[in-house]
Amino acid sequence: MTHKKYRKILVTGGAGFIGSFLVDELVKLGYQVRILDNLEDQVHQGKKPKYLNRNAEFIKGDVRKISDLKRSIDRVDAVFHLAAAVGVGQSNYQIKKYVDTNIGGTVNLLELLINTQHQIKKLITISSMTGYGEGNYFCKKDNIVRPPLREEKRLREKDWNLYCPKCNGEVTPFPTDETALDFPNSIYGLSKKNQQDMVFLIGKLYNIPTTVLRGFNIYGPRQSLSNPYTGVTAIFISRLKNDKPAVIFEDGLQTRDFVSVHDVINAFILALEEDKANYQLFNIGSGKGTTILEIAQTISSLLEKKDLIDINQDFRKNDIRHCFADISKVERLLDWKPKISLEKGLKELIEWSGNEVAEDKFSKAQQQLKSYGL
Ligand code: UD1
């Protein structure tokens, strides 16, 4: 297949959960693909994952080193910048690592785009719903409102709810669109928001078309089951595979917007190929909130460990209660829609996990958070 606009594409973080599926799809579409990845210990234990696409060129290197990035962009026409440190809680005590990787790595890339010869005609990155903090809520009296993060005192009293910041009345979750202001709940969220702003600023200033996808809770095969700092679906599977209960914080009725990695990859391809995506930020989610309790129940019954669940009524400081995406912009401009239902996506995830090693390091990660009072 021939593509007019781009031939060679760099995917930073191309050995990761999302990056590796993107590499597979780009190779399938006939692009020449190069991966830059540091094979981060926490995720890969320093080894190339077995799913790494053999038809892509692989450079082991780190976005924190400008020389590694420099050799990676040689003769490249478009860049997907996905390399990042991704643990939300962990970022609040490993600030330097998260800032150096997520902000510093992006700074290195932008410096090269400005100060060296290159042929890059498109830059696409991934940001996170964690940049928003709590999502939009609806108050019968005050309409759409954005409550701040919940106070620790209330959480200690096990009052998990949000209240209207204007009248203190009851609120219900409401879709969050791309115009919502950002109130990140973590250094990770802040770093992603910062990356997003820098990429748009420099892209517009130097006429390099840029697109940022704002991912909600992305799940699917290849998310490391031995990384306790990763998302909730992988953590639950890892616990259950080790015959330990899935630990649910709060009362389990907090919600997240779960979207399959395959749907995210479709959005990335549209972001690359459609000019309408240039200089745009798109929410990528399912458009619906699902409770964490429902996720635990579905995963435990698919693994035939029904109700091996512990609702522990504890909390992680700064966790948000609800946020789900308004996806009307990406539907309208790119004609993208999520196609994989949660039921189908979780089934796929469980099937994949059957042959995977899952080391349960959950308790260790919890102790670490607790030792910091988080
Ligand atoms: C997650 C991702 C983040 C991504 C974001 C996009 C991580 C750590 N988080 O953040 O990278 O950018 O989605 O939206 O990778 N929970 C439990 N038990 C557990 C773990 C979690 O009950 O063992 C609950 C949490 O309290 C929370 C929900 O599950 O309410 C989701 O937690 P988590 O998967 O860590 O995700 P986010 O903080 O939403």
Domain boundaries, the chain: 8-135+176-369, 136-175
For position 86, what pLDDT does the model report? Answer: 93
For position 307, what pLDDT does the model report? Answer: 82
Q: Which residues in the chain land under pLDDT 70?
A: 1-3
- Could you tell me the pTM of the whole model? 0.96
Residue 52: Cβ within 10 Å count: 18
Do 236 and 303 touch, CB atoms closer than 8 A?
no
Strands (E) in 168-323, as ranges, are 172-174, 210-215, 217-219, 246-248, 255-256, 258-260, 280-284, 290-291, 309-311
Q: What SS3 class is residue 231?
A: coil
End-to-end CA distance of the chain: 51
CATH numeric code, 8-135+176-369: 3.40.50.720
The answer, yes or no, to whether any atom of ligand 1 lies below 6 A from the CB of 101, is: no
The answer, yes or no, to whether any atom of ligand 1 lies below 6 A from the CB of 316, is: yes
The answer, yes or no, to whether any atom of ligand 1 lies below 6 A from the CB of 254, is: yes
Do 193 and 131 touch, CB atoms closer than 8 A?
yes
Residues 256 and 15: their CA atoms lie apart, in Å, by 26
For position 3, what pLDDT does the model report? Answer: 54
Residues 289 and 260: their CA atoms lie apart, in Å, by 14
Q: How far is CA 170 from the centre of its chain?
A: 30
For position 229, what pLDDT does the model report? Answer: 86
The residue nearest atom 20 of ligand 1, judged by CA position, is 232
Ligand 1 atom with the shortest distance to the CA of 86: 11
The residue nearest atom 19 of ligand 1, judged by CA position, is 232
The residue nearest atom 11 of ligand 1, judged by CA position, is 86
